[in-house]
Amino acid sequence: MATRINKYLSEVGFCSRRKADRLIEERKVTINGEITEIGSKVEEGDQVEVEGEKIIKSTKQKNIYLAFNKPIGIVCTTDRRVEPDNVIDFIKYPKRIFPIGRLDKPSEGLILLTNDGDIVNKILRARNNHEKEYIVSVNRPINKDFIQRMSNGVEILDTITQNCFVKQLGQKTFKIILTQGLNRQIRRMCESLGYRVRSLKRVRIMNIKLDVPTGKYRELTKEELIELNRLLENSSKTYF
């Protein structure tokens, strides 16, 4: 049975479908020596290569799910040539995995890594309203007006952010729960209101909580995976 090339690269644990589409657009993927296109399909016995690396599909791949506490300064990318301080080289996991989503370089906290392309696509789809919780410190005292404005939506990137839960924790610290994933969203929201983020830590993704020391990782438990799949059961498998 033929398989779309981006789904094939996801299923073998090479990368997410979104990353596969980017590689295809950059003309870095071939099937039987021919440069492939978005929507091309892989047949049984075809030889797939990415930048000259042969991609071998094993008969049965064990899915890997890790919760990692990313330190400040580590970049959530699998491109080792672009970023020497990338998450893959830092973790040194013995099998190919890739991060689900991103945390920018100055931020820290929970990032999930896997070789399961389907779960990546489900979690990344903003319309599925999957919660991500952060603890944020800013450069000057916050007040009720700041909390209300952050909660009700802030104009950034030519749009208004969705309503979200925000709670003050200290003079300059607050908790925020997002279901969006705009680029540098929290930092841009704070800047729009005249504040500068001093520290930003993600402490939860859906039902997965941050509970390992900085720079360490653990496998998700069976119970966490059951609940994660329950939360994702109505999520579309449609990819970017």
Domains in the chain and their CATH numbers? 3-55 (3.10.290.10), 65-126+211-232 (3.30.70.580), 131-205 (3.30.70.1560)
What is the DSSP pairing of strand 159-160 with strand 155-156?
A: antiparallel
Structure confidence by residue, pLDDT tens digits, 3-29: 889 888 887 878 878 888 989 999 999
- DSSP class of residue 101? S
Q: CA quadruple 7, 94, 27, 52: dihedral positive or negative?
A: negative
Question: Residue 127's pLDDT is what?
Answer: 56
The H or E element spanning position 181 is: none
Range 118-125 average pLDDT: 74
More confident residue, 126 or 40: 40
Catalytic residue check, 46: no
For 43, counting Cβ atoms within 10 Å of its Cβ (0-12 exposed, 13-18 middle, 19+ buried), the class is exposed
Structure confidence by residue, pLDDT tens digits, 179-195: 988 889 999 999 999 99
Q: Which of 55-69, 90-104, 114-128 has the highest mean pLDDT?
A: 90-104
Report the distance separating Cα 44 and Cα 54, nearest Å.
15
Structure confidence by residue, pLDDT tens digits, 204-220: 999 999 999 999 999 99
Is a pLDDT exceeding 60 seen at residue 60? no
Average pLDDT over all residues of the chain: 88
Question: Residue 117's pLDDT is what?
Answer: 77
The amino acid sitting at 63 is N
Range 80-107 average pLDDT: 87
Is a pLDDT exceeding 60 seen at residue 239? no
Q: In whole angstroms, what separates CA 17 from the centre of its chain?
A: 12
Q: What is the pTM of this model?
A: 0.76
Report the distance separating Cα 163 and Cα 151, nearest Å.
5
Q: What are phi and psi of 214, to 5 degrees?
A: -55, 130
The residue annotated as part of the active site, out of 104, 116, 118, 145, is 104
Q: Facing residues of 98 across strands?
A: 114
